[in-house]
Amino acid sequence: MPVLIGDIAPDFEAETTEGHIRFHDYIDGHWAVLFSHPKNFTPVCTTELGYTAKLKPEFDKRGVKVLGLSVDALDNHAGWAADIEETQGTALNFPLIADTSGEIARKYEMIHPNANDTLTVRSVFVVGPDKKIKLKIEYPASTGRNFDEVLRVIDSLQLTAKHQVATPVNWKDGEDVIIVPAVSNEQAREKFPGGWTEKKPYLRIVPQPGR
């Protein structure tokens, strides 16, 4: 069965570069990003891990724990981490899972047999504090991911989880948002006393709450 948005994220135990973890215990009320890498010592993955390490303060600021996954062995990760630091200028600063059996990759359907029957595609899962999948994105092995976009989506997810709003196309933190249709005008007057701009009855634009 596919892992879908709204599902409980499959739990697992794993050895990582920062010790043994159980995923649900590791989350421990935080948001989490779990993302897979086709293979160690590959060029695109090296750039992705380096950039994610640079973004670690941004993830920390949002209360997000980051976990990478590779199907290579744990003793293989150390040498790759050294390469990442040398070429990308940032040391690996989050756990990298050694999923040598592919068990976790199969649980999350990270292996797409028609692309490659042993290596993972570039999967990204954002998991909420309730341990439910909030976002899933999949890229082919040849295309590096946009982790600025992952942060942008997390900003949206965290905002919309707290307020009854949705974020429009290309939204960035601090920009106007949309009042969800489930909120009546009467309710909206209580929630958004500063008012809103009504483009259509179903399209009501309001400044981002809390800003």
- What would the two tokens of residue 188 be? 């909206």
End-to-end, the C-alpha distance of the chain in Å comes to 41
Cα dihedral 142/147/148/149 (nearest 10): 80
Rounded to whole angstroms, the Cα distance separating 189 from 14 reads 49
Q: Which of 45, 69, 111, 150 does the annotation list as catalytic?
A: 45
Cα atoms found within 13 Å of the Cα of residue 156, Cβ hemisphere only: 20
Catalytic, 14? Answer no
The conformational region for residue 29 under phi > 0 = left, psi -120 to 50 = alpha, else beta, is left
Rounded to whole angstroms, the Cα distance separating 50 from 33 reads 15
Q: What is the DSSP string of 111-157?
A: --TTT-SSS--EEEEEE-TTSBEEEEEEE-TTS---HHHHHHHHHHH
By annotation, the residues acting in catalysis are 45
